[in-house]
Structure 1
Amino acid sequence: MGHEVWTQGDESSYGILLLEMFTGKRPTSDVFQGTSNLDNYVKAALLEQVVEIVDLVLLHEKQEGDMSANQRLTKASTTIHIKFEESLISILENGIDCSTNVHGERLDIADAMAEMCRIRNKIRADHKIYVVLSM
């Protein structure tokens, strides 16, 4: 209010929104006190515990989709699970890159959108491979 519009503020807000949507946690949550914040929470879990920090609603929907598409545990479903985790990591990294506190290091919003489109297209391609493999 009363300040000049600043595109990097939009980038930061977009990054925080991505992190909120995929973790189900708000940056103002009681979990984040002192020096802890949503960015640090995601960064700490990103590579080894990404599934543990993702909102359970997202995981539940993915598991239901896996069960209805194919009841067997196959190489294809294992591959799709790995691709799912890789996609989550990419999305959360995009959120972190947009919301970093170092203004000069924030991902430009156009680049952030291009990255999300790349991730979406990769998910679509991976899904087509999964459908073919599970037949």
Structure 2
Amino acid sequence: MTAHLGDFGLAKIIADSNSEVILDQTSSVGLKGTIGYAAPEYGMGSKATKEGDVYSFGILLLHVFTGKRPTDDMFRDDLNLHKLVQMCLDENVDEMVDPTLVLGEAAAKPCPHLKGINECLISLLRIGEACSRELPRDRMEIHDALNHLLKLKTIF
């Protein structure tokens, strides 16, 4: 449970900066983020945005609930953590979720009372998937993600 990223708030840090060099920066030289968590548009020289922070948040959710890092060796060619979750979301969620999240014997065998937990985990993965979409305009807005998370907290 050790944090390994520092991407959140990049948009605010850059926007609040008094340095015109940083504000006008369009290369990745002035922008540092955690590999795998930084939004794909940052690699193409885009400025830090709120949507980039949303992407980082989404990838973090996917990492926490799958137990897979976005930099894992399994992610090659066109496969990444977002796409893996997207492919498995509806059918193979039990295989996708980190088994250490469900404690005891419940992790080893199906249990009827876990249906609610699985629904909660699916909802969390859906939020992560919606926040980590490749195009910034397709990502869930952070206030919507927060509302969904608060609703889940109330339900579960």
TM over 0.5: yes
TM-score scaled to structure 1, two decimals?
Answer: 0.74
CA deviation digits over 1:23-43, x for unaligned, max 9? 000111001100000011111
Pair 1:2-2:30 in alignment:
yes
**Counterpart-to-counterpart distance in 2, 1:22 and 1:63:** 16
* Residue 89 of structure 1: aligned partner: 122
Give the number of aligned pairs. Answer: 111
Task: Kindly indicate whether structure 1 or structure 2 has the higher relative contact order, using CA contacts under 8 Å at least 6 residues apart.
Answer: 1
**Counterpart-to-counterpart distance in 1, 2:94 and 2:103:** 11
In the TM superposition, what is the alpha-carbon distance from 1:61 to its structure 2 partner? 5.4
* Residue 107 of structure 1: aligned partner: 140
1:60 equivalent among 96, 100, 103: 103
The root-mean-square deviation of aligned C-alpha atoms, in Å, is 2.1
Secondary structure of 2:74 counterpart: coil
Secondary structure of 2:30 counterpart: coil
In the TM superposition, what is the alpha-carbon distance from 1:62 to its structure 2 partner? 8.2
The AA in structure 1 aligned to 2:64 is M
Call closer, same or farther: CA 1:121–1:30 in 2, change over 3 Å: same
Larger helix share, 1 or 2: 1
Structure 2 runs not aligned, ≥5 long: 1-28, 32-46
In the TM superposition, what is the alpha-carbon distance from 1:51 to its structure 2 partner? 1.2
In the TM superposition, what is the alpha-carbon distance from 1:118 to its structure 2 partner? 0.7
In the TM superposition, what is the alpha-carbon distance from 1:2 to its structure 2 partner? 3.2
Structure 1 runs not aligned, ≥5 long: 65-72, 124-135
